[in-house]
Amino acid sequence: MLRSRALALLILGLMAVWLVGCGAKSPSPPPGGWGKAPATQRPYTIKGKTYHPIPSADGYTEEGVASWYGRDFHGKPTSCGEIYDMHKLTAAHKILPMHTTLKVTNLENGRSVTVRVNDRGPFVSGRVIDMSFAGAKALDMHDKGTTRVRLESVGSIPGATSAKDLPGPFYVQIGAFVNERNAQRLLTVIKRAGYAQSRIHSKDVDGERFFRVHAGTFATLSEAERARARLSGEYRNAFVIGE
């Protein structure tokens, strides 16, 4: 009796992990239901924040902080139902489609590695990707724990739609400052230039707080890319970020 009950609880637990992953809780379906969207493409909520997976990785780029996860999760189910193997080149991302192939470049030493997304995360403020141990070792970040990276999608996902009209909101990052006053000055300038919903977003990197100025907002990725092209004349390192 007890053994059967324990087995039932284990099966229910594994099903919950497979459906949403990483402790996520799915919100109620929209009118008309989810249709044919796989479970890993449905919105999910972690710590009160809802994430909306995007339908395609085509043309996707992102910069931010990478971390890695290893032995504590080795052998456990990932969000897509695979068993996590810390020695394989995989990674977790909050919104990219499962099985997206990403080129990840360590911006601190120039090393690159190609990984496949098979999990959701990381759910730590300021981090954009969780690498497997193998991926972290390839980037030579496994001892340090975190590093700044650039993500670039490689190829496309079969059956995925174009990424150009992905729904936002999106922003264009035009500057990052240690001094908050400098960020406030730039925010004033960019708002006067017509980007009324621009903002300052702060995050800690290696124990130091940075204040990032985001011009925005933009309803689609293509709109954000056009704005980045305009802004890059004055802000050479401008790049698009998703909410």
Q: Judge residue 199's burial from the number of C-beta atoms within 10 Å of its C-beta, 0-12 exposed, 13-18 middle, 19 or more buried.
A: middle
Q: Judge residue 240's burial from the number of C-beta atoms within 10 Å of its C-beta, 0-12 exposed, 13-18 middle, 19 or more buried.
A: buried
Specify the pTM.
0.54
Asked if 99 and 118 touch (Cβ cutoff 8 Å), the reply is: yes
pLDDT at 51: 86
Separation of alpha carbons 7 and 162, rounded Å? 43
Instruction: List the one residue out of 79, 68, 72 whose CA is nearest residue 119.
Output: 79
User: pLDDT tens-digit profile of 107-154?
Assistant: 999 999 999 999 999 998 889 999 999 999 999 999 999 999 999 998
pLDDT at 6: 43
In the predicted structure, residue 211 carries a pLDDT above the cut 50: yes
135/8: higher pLDDT: 135
Separation of alpha carbons 107 and 233, rounded Å? 23
pLDDT at 166: 59
Question: 136 — phi, psi (to 5°)?
Answer: -65, -40
159/176: higher pLDDT: 176
User: pLDDT tens-digit profile of 23-73?
Assistant: 333 333 433 343 445 678 888 888 888 888 887 788 888 999 999 999 999
As given in the structure block, the two tokens for residue 83 are 């068993």
In the predicted structure, residue 79 carries a pLDDT above the cut 80: yes
Instruction: List the one residue out of 96, 92, 94 whose CA is nearest residue 57.
Output: 96
In the predicted structure, residue 199 carries a pLDDT above the cut 70: yes
CA distances to 77, 84, 89, 99 from 117, rounded to whole Å, are 14, 11, 9, 5
pLDDT at 237: 78
Q: Judge residue 187's burial from the number of C-beta atoms within 10 Å of its C-beta, 0-12 exposed, 13-18 middle, 19 or more buried.
A: buried
Q: What per-residue string of b and e applies to 29-49 under the rule 16 or more CB within 10 Å gives b?
A: eeeeeeeeeebbbbbbebeee
Look at residue 93 and give its three-state secondary structure. coil
| Beta bridge mates, 239 | 173
